[in-house]
């Protein structure tokens, strides 16, 4: 090994030269405190490194009278380099107030402690983030990270029946991901500047405005797709009619992962809109997204279509009254499911077709037996008991609904939000059976109508209204 080889090419030397005079002084204190006991030779080497540009000179100054040992020198440099890298990372961390507060929330979440520690720290930074008027990628990233920490905190510390639904996690992540992809797309066309400014300095809306003003970015389909998708998700472009067609047309211009993530962003968006508005257009778009995902196997896991996606397609198609198409979906997509799921999926799918055709006796016959699939079993009971109500078989319904509530509350395999939507439905179904007072029925109608998310909402509203229609309109307050 050449002892005269200069240090300038070593990573350690480059790192040290990147520090300011003030940072050099802080580093000296840091090295002395952190390595004094574990690696004292590294401290001695650090104290002599600045004025000794070669290995031999540095070794002689650090270990006078000892012959040069390359292995020992390399080990010392390794420990010293690691500590300098840690110091630089800490300095960056200390300069980022948001990151410091986020890490506090994360650490309090991981440590053993009660709500008195986590909740105040979470609320402090959450309030601060929500009040920011400028919302670029850092805002969406922080919102996503905080919502994720809140989600994990609830899983760790709060019983299932007391947990609150945490919305917006996927929405925040989608926006953060899109911001980064737009910057990368722009970088591939012009890797440094937009009008002599670094592109990373722009917030999202400003970034899009500047992009649209630049001739060099016109007629770039990948960039146009990302821009339109962002505007769709934040509500600035409610239609984006040709977006799905554009994504599929220019598929080859995206790498496989980006294409999949664009699809997921679109699917998440239309699912959110369907849940919020419950209108025909958004449900139709969501169904279109699912069919696209199946045709191109974007939804497949380990070569199979997960049964929950199959269920979603059946329910959406039935809600849209596209019952002939639903039967085609069942026949075509059933073989994509794992073999052990196929029989129950077929029974459940055909039961829903009967239900939406108004063939309630056939629905009861399909759903009367138990399902191994817990989602089919839980949700199927809502179709079973409403079918019995339609058939005027109400003698045992109150008892059945009480047992249904116990089943939902005790079943740990059901997702929290799914369980809550079904429980809210059962509770209001019981009230529909009990109430004969028109004022109470009117209040029940209004309460069900105000729910943002409840199972069988349209069915409940329709039957409360049918019961209300028996009374003179002047006694009703809706």
Q: Distance between CA atoms of 355 and 361, rounded to whole angstroms?
A: 9
- Say whether both 89 and 119 belong to one domain: no
- Say whether both 18 and 31 belong to one domain: yes
More confident residue, 264 or 202: 264
pLDDT tier at 367 (50, 70, 90 boundaries)? very high
Whole-number percent of the chain with pLDDT over 90 = 29
Give this prediction's pTM.
0.63
Q: Distance between CA atoms of 475 and 438, rounded to whole angstroms?
A: 7
- Burial annotation 128-142 (CB, 10 A radius, 16+ → b, else e): ebeeeeebbbbbbbb
More confident residue, 197 or 124: 124
The helix, strand and coil proportions of the chain, stated in percent and rounded to the nearest 5, come to 75, 0, 25
- Say whether both 16 and 91 belong to one domain: yes
Quick check: is 156 in a domain? yes
Q: Distance between CA atoms of 50 and 428, rounded to whole angstroms?
A: 77
What is the pLDDT, as a whole number, of residue 475?
47
Is the predicted pLDDT of residue 240 greater than 80, yes or no? no
Quick check: is 314 in a domain? no
- Domain residues for the domain of 161 are 97-167
Is the predicted pLDDT of residue 235 greater than 90, yes or no? no
Q: Distance between CA atoms of 29 and 195, rounded to whole angstroms?
A: 43
- Say whether both 400 and 478 belong to one domain: yes
Is the predicted pLDDT of residue 81 greater than 70, yes or no? yes
CA atoms within 13 A on the CB side of 50: 10
233 near 168, Cβ under 8 Å?
Answer: no
* Average pLDDT of every residue of the chain: 80
Positive or negative torsion for Cα 329, 332, 338, 339? positive
Say how far residue 96 (Cα) sits from the centre of its chain. Answer: 24
Q: Two tokens at 174?
A: 């989608």
Last residue of a domain, one of 167, 197, 229: 167
- Say whether both 113 and 145 belong to one domain: yes
Is the predicted pLDDT of residue 173 greater than 70, yes or no? no
Question: What is the arithmetic mean of pLDDT over 379-396?
Answer: 93
Q: Distance between CA atoms of 442 and 31, rounded to whole angstroms?
A: 73
Taking the CB of residue 171, how many other CB atoms lie within 10 A of it?
19
- Say whether both 117 and 47 belong to one domain: no
Is the predicted pLDDT of residue 200 greater than 60, yes or no? no
What is the pLDDT, as a whole number, of residue 194?
37
Q: How many structural domains are present in the chain?
A: 3
Is the predicted pLDDT of residue 419 greater than 60, yes or no? yes
- Residues 101-143 have pLDDT tens digits of 777 777 777 776 656 677 777 777 777 776 665 555 566 666 6
Range from 76-90, 220-234, 316-330, 399-413 carrying the lowest mean pLDDT:
220-234
- Say whether both 429 and 443 belong to one domain: yes
Q: Distance between CA atoms of 270 and 18, rounded to whole angstroms?
A: 48
Quick check: is 122 in a domain? yes
Last residue of a domain, one of 116, 138, 167: 167
Q: Two tokens at 117?
A: 């520690």
- Say whether both 101 and 157 belong to one domain: yes
Last residue of a domain, one of 63, 78, 95: 95
Q: Which residues contact 343 (CB under 8 A, 6 or more apart)?
A: none
Taking the CB of residue 83, how many other CB atoms lie within 10 A of it?
21
Q: Which residues contact 338 (CB under 8 A, 6 or more apart)?
A: 304, 307
Q: Which residues contact 4 (CB under 8 A, 6 or more apart)?
A: 54, 55, 56
Q: Distance between CA atoms of 44 and 161, rounded to whole angstroms?
A: 59
Quick check: is 265 in a domain? no
Quick check: is 58 in a domain? yes
Quick check: is 198 in a domain? no
- Say whether both 53 and 110 belong to one domain: no
- Say whether both 464 and 404 belong to one domain: yes
Quick check: is 191 in a domain? no
More confident residue, 424 or 469: 424
- DSSP bridge pairs for 194: 197
Strands (E), 168-259: 193-194, 197-198
- Say whether both 410 and 460 belong to one domain: yes
Is the predicted pLDDT of residue 478 greater than 70, yes or no? no
- DSSP bridge pairs for 198: 193
Strands (E), 219-282: none
CA nearest 230: which of 211, 250, 249, 256? 211
CA nearest 401: which of 422, 370, 374? 422
Quick check: is 127 in a domain? yes
What is the pLDDT, as a whole number, of residue 388?
94
217 near 186, Cβ under 8 Å?
Answer: yes
């Amino acid at each position: 090994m050449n002892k005269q080889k200069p240090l300038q090419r070593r990573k350690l030397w480059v790192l040290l030269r990147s520090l300011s005079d003030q940072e050099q002084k802080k580093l000296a204190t840091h090295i002395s405190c952190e390595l004094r006991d574990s690696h004292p030779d590294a401290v001695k080497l650090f104290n002599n490194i600045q004025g000794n540009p070669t290995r031999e000179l540095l070794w002689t100054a650090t270990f006078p009278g000892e012959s040069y040992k390359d292995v020992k020198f390399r080990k010392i440099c390794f420990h010293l380099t690691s500590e300098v890298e840690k110091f630089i990372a800490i300095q960056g961390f200390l300069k980022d107030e948001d990151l410091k507060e986020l890490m506090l929330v994360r650490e309090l979440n991981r440590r053993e402690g009660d709500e008195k520690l986590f909740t105040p720290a979470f609320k402090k930074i959450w309030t601060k983030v929500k009040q920011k008027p400028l919302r670029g990628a850092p805002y969406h990233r922080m919102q996503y990270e905080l919502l994720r920490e809140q989600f994990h905190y609830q899983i760790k510390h709060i019983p299932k029946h007391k947990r609150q639904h945490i919305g917006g996690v996927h929405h925040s992540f989608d926006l953060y991901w899109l911001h980064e992809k737009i910057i990368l797309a722009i970088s591939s066309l012009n890797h440094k500047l937009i009008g002599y400014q670094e592109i990373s300095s722009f917030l999202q809306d400003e970034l899009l405005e500047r992009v649209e003003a630049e001739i060099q970015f016109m007629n770039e389909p990948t960039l146009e797709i990302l821009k339109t998708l962002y505007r769709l998700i934040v509500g600035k472009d409610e239609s984006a009619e040709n977006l799905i067609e554009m994504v599929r047309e220019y598929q080859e211009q995206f790498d496989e992962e980006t294409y999949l993530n664009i699809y997921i962003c679109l699917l998440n968006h239309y699912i959110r809109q369907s849940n919020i508005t419950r209108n025909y257009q958004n449900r139709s778009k969501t169904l279109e997204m699912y069919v696209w995902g199946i045709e191109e196997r974007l939804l497949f896991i380990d070569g199979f279509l997960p049964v929950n996606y199959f269920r979603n397609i059946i329910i959406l198609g039935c809600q849209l009254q596209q019952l002939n198409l639903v039967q085609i979906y069942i026949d075509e997509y059933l073989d994509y499911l794992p073999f052990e799921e196929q029989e129950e999926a077929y029974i459940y799918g055909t039961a829903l077709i009967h239900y939406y055709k108004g063939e309630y006796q056939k629905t009861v016959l399909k759903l009367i037996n138990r399902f191994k699939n817990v989602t089919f079993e839980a949700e199927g009971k809502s179709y079973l008991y409403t079918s019995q109500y339609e058939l005027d078989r109400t003698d045992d319904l109150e008892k059945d609904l009480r047992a249904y509530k116990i089943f939902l509350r005790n079943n740990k395999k059901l997702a929290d939000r799914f369980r809550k939507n079904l429980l809210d439905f059962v509770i209001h179904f019981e009230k529909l059976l009990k109430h004969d007072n028109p004022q109470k029925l009117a209040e029940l109608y209004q309460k069900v109508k105000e729910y943002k998310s409840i199972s069988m909402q349209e069915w409940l509203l329709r039957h409360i209204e049918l019961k209300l229609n028996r009374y003179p309109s002047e006694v009703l307050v809706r």
